[in-house]
Amino acid sequence: MASSFTPYSPAGAAYSSMMRRDLASTSTAMDTDRAGSGPAAPSTLQAAPVGLQAVPGMVDGLAGEAAQAVEVPFKRVRKKMAILLMSYSGTGFNGMQIQPDGGTIENALLDALFAAGMITEENNKKIQTMNFQRCARTDKGVHAARQVVSLKMAVDEPDIVARVNAQLPAQIRIMAYMRAPRSFNAKNQCTGRRYQYLAPSYAFCPKGPLTEADLSFRIDEEKLALINTVLGGFVGTRNYHNFTSKKTAEDPSAMRYIVSFECNGPVVIDGVEFVKMTVCGQSFLLHMIRKMVGLTMAIVRGYATVDVMETAFGPAKLDVPRAPGLGLLLDACFFDVYNRKYKNDKDHPPIGWPELDPAIDAFKHENIFSEMVKTEVSERIIFSWLDTISCHTFEAHALPPSADDDESAQGSAAAAGGAAGAAPGPRWVRSRCYSTACTSDGRCYSTMCQQLDQIASRKRKKYNQRGFGAQHHRKRPKR
């Protein structure tokens, strides 16, 4: 016998619930009448509803709820991993990353995606459910020309870019989108980032209080060469624990690699001369670029010497000035490894969008650079901050020795005593890489010493677990 399948509907569910209550009440009435004097009156059952029509005899509340549920049909959003290319002006926003109180770029983006039907309400409240990631977390007031984010969203809808932009403010634009592999992560697969900092030329004027006459300061070739010399000192692998917050010199994550850092020729906008500094690197720490720019301004103006840079990269703590975020711009994100991997894949084109460069450059000049110049001319943010550089002493403050340093010193002394005939020191004391930095009194931060530190840390942990020596370690009995 062939069986028929009836799909679920709210009206049918309400009707079934009513039927069960009617049958139960009818059965109870019949049992009561059998026990009494007279027979029970036959109960009349209504026919099942057809389509979405109301059922005679139904409870008004159930009928109203069923009709209301049917009026708003459930629509499932089929989501796939996608990549969005964004351009935005950070003025008036509290940074890029989503915050519970709102007011960030991501809050505005997620609200627009939800209003356009690209994500569900659960995705809007919990971004972990759609694997949301961004290439860079820009600070408050920082802008972006080519920010890339990845998330699971509806990709089969027509005119996605136009529909999302219709829900966004004018200073945030979605430039393009594309499908991505299921495991794509914008943060982890980004191999490099490029930032630009637009600074007025009077930020590099000679040492002293700024006056209105300094607004007409112009940079010559000699001053531009000095700026590029200072910026060249950041190129390479350095320890940037003094250029961020809540990091120590021993933290491996403080090591960063800068590919290039240079200053271009000046340009005059609204009577004020500006220079543009461009830095490329693998990744950057919190406030890192702003402190690099701030230290460069302090050195060029004469408040500090070039030797301060080597001190800042060392283990000592140094107070580095932090430039305002007004002139900072995320210019581009690079995906070299991804593009090489999928260069022959037709379904996943390379990430770059060179055809959108004219549109992005127009957005930069109309919404970002013009806003930077207008704000600086009217509010004098960088002009006022330059007077605070004189409050910095640029003196290194030695940190108190930690327990690991004391153990290393004791182990080195014991090893030296062992060479003279005393007991040998612990086996976990790391060796030297025999570079110039290792032979000095300061601690070495070369790549080889970083690897030796990791090896020594593992040996020290194993040594301590065994009770300070293999001779005190109780061997586990064999079974």
Active site residues: 139
Rounded-to-integer distance, Cα 51 and Cα 458, Å: 71
Rounded-to-integer distance, Cα 113 and Cα 8, Å: 30
DSSP one-letter code for 386? G
Rounded-to-integer distance, Cα 241 and Cα 238, Å: 9
Computed from CA positions of residues 133, 134, 137, 138, in that sequence, does the dihedral angle turn out positive or negative?
negative
The answer to whether the beta carbons of residues 148 and 85 sit under 8 Å apart is yes
Number of helices (H), then strands (E), in the chain: 15, 10
Contacts of 263 (CB under 8 A, 6+ apart): 224, 227, 228, 231, 275, 276, 277, 278
Rounded-to-integer distance, Cα 324 and Cα 290, Å: 7
Contacts of 447 (CB under 8 A, 6+ apart): 237
Contacts of 109 (CB under 8 A, 6+ apart): 86, 149, 168, 172
**CA neighbor of 19 nearest in space, from 52, 71, 62:** 62
> Which position has the token pair 């619930």?
17
Q: What residues form DSSP beta bridges with 261?
A: 279
Buried b (16+ CB within 10 A) or exposed e, 353-362: beeeeeebee
Rounded-to-integer distance, Cα 198 and Cα 326, Å: 8
Helix (H), strand (E), coil (C) string for 254-275: HEEEEEEEEECCCEEECCEEEE
Max Cα distance, the chain (Å): 118
For residue 70, what is the enclosing H or E element? helix 60-71
E strands within 324-366? 328-334
**CA neighbor of 92 nearest in space, from 108, 81, 76:** 108
Rounded-to-integer distance, Cα 271 and Cα 228, Å: 24
